[in-house]
Amino acid sequence: MILKLAIVGVILAVGGVLLYPQIIKFTSDYPQIEAVAQDIGDLKDTTIKRVSYEFDKTVDTVGDKIDKITPSTDQLNPIDDIEGKIAVPQTREVYYGQVYEKNDDNSCKISVPKMVKTVNGIREVTHTITLPECEYEKHKPVQVTVTTDPVTQTQTIAVNPTSQSQIFETLQLTTTRNEDNTISIHYEDTSGKTQKVTVTLRNSERQLFSGEFFASKFDTSVNDVSVSPHIIEMIVEHADHGTVSSSVFNPQGSDKATIYGVFTK
């Protein structure tokens, strides 16, 4: 029994000797554990502060970019700027007419039938353009160009000689107003290729005459024409030229006057 107790005592002594250095080492290492824990805590605080700083910085940056991409009033409503940059094209229309009156002061009046207007419920016999400085002789055919500003609706009228492409040398129309209030109409096509001619004569009140002719040369008369202004209009169906129109405006007081018609397409 005593021997067993002695053996146990020896074992405990040897174990104590062997474990003592480890206990001392563990005790000496404990401050390092506290230091590691302290470092981890500091790292957490630093990381939180860093994340907070980066978040604040990101918010400021996003705020700056939002300010930069926020459109101005002009960008939200660019219509005025666009209107200033886009030029609206002007409209341009070409008509053909004839000088029917030339005055001593060098002014003249031009008949342009396809520009007729209705004023106060009364349709014009023909539309008249007065040219203060006129270089054209009486009965001379002219080209009238009307340019309209689409914004202001302001019209500019230019009068020029009829282009050569609009001159039909083989066609001729003459009208003569006689003393007995009759109108003599003479049509001639020297090419012989006229297929059909439709003739109308009217004044501001009514149509006085309408007829169709199927020949390249004919004469006709219209009776009981009043002394009021009237216009003779002619539509020619031609083998070479297609559809060609002509008109003669005879103003009031032009007795015994022979007028040559103007042919245009």
* pLDDT (tens digit per residue) in 64-106: 555 555 556 555 555 555 555 566 788 899 999 999 899 999 9
Q: How high is the pLDDT of residue 178?
A: 81
pLDDT at 258 over 60: yes
The total of structural domains in the chain comes to: 3
Mapped onto helix, strand or coil, the DSSP state of residue 96 is strand
Q: Quick: pLDDT tens for 138-153.
A: 888 899 999 998 888 8
Residues 46 and 124 in one domain: no
Q: Which residues are bridge partners to 49 per DSSP?
A: none
* 171 and 260 housed in the same domain: yes
Question: Domain of 191?
Answer: 165-264
Across 52-56, 191-195, 223-227, the highest mean pLDDT is recorded for 191-195
In a domain, residue 81? The reply is no
Report, as an integer, the average pLDDT of 121-135: 90
Is there a single domain that holds both residue 35 and residue 100? Answer: no
H or E stretch covering 103: none
User: Both 39 and 22 in a single domain?
Assistant: yes
Q: Is residue 203 in a domain? A: yes
Within a domain: residue 78?
Answer: no
Pairing of β 127-131 and β 108-112: antiparallel
On whether residue 257 sits in a domain, the answer given is yes
Statement to judge: residues 105 and 31 lie in one domain: no
Instruction: State the pLDDT confidence band at 16, using cuts at 50, 70 and 90.
Output: low
**Residues 170 and 139 occupy one common structural domain:** no
AA letter at 17: V
Q: Which one of 164, 193, 220 terminates a domain?
A: 164
Burial per residue of 202-217, b for 16 or more beta-carbon CB atoms within 10 angstroms, e otherwise: bbeeeebbeeebeebe
- pLDDT digits 0-9 by tens, 92-101: 999 999 998 9
Helix, strand, or coil here: 127?
A: strand
Please give the pLDDT value at position 251: 82
Last residue of a domain, one of 39, 70, 101: 70
Range 1-29 average pLDDT: 51
User: Quick check: is 79 in a domain?
Assistant: no
Q: Which two tokens stand for residue 247?
A: 């008109």
Q: For residue 147, what are its two tokens?
A: 């340019």
Write down which residue in 16, 36, 70 finishes a domain: 70
User: Would you tell me how many other CB atoms lie within 10 Å of the CB of residue 237?
Assistant: 15
SS3 (DSSP) at 40: helix
Mean pLDDT of 223-245: 85
In the predicted model, is pLDDT for residue 38 greater than 60? no
Distance CA 252, CA 127 (A): 15
Q: Give the pLDDT mean for 17-38.
A: 49
Q: In this structure, are 155 and 174 located in the same domain?
A: no
Question: Does residue 46 share a domain with residue 9?
Answer: yes
- Mark whether 155 and 198 lie in a shared domain: no
* 173/156 same-domain check: no
Closest CA to 193 of 208, 215, 174: 215
Q: Check whether residue 178 and residue 258 sit in a common domain.
A: yes
The tokens for 89 are 């094209």
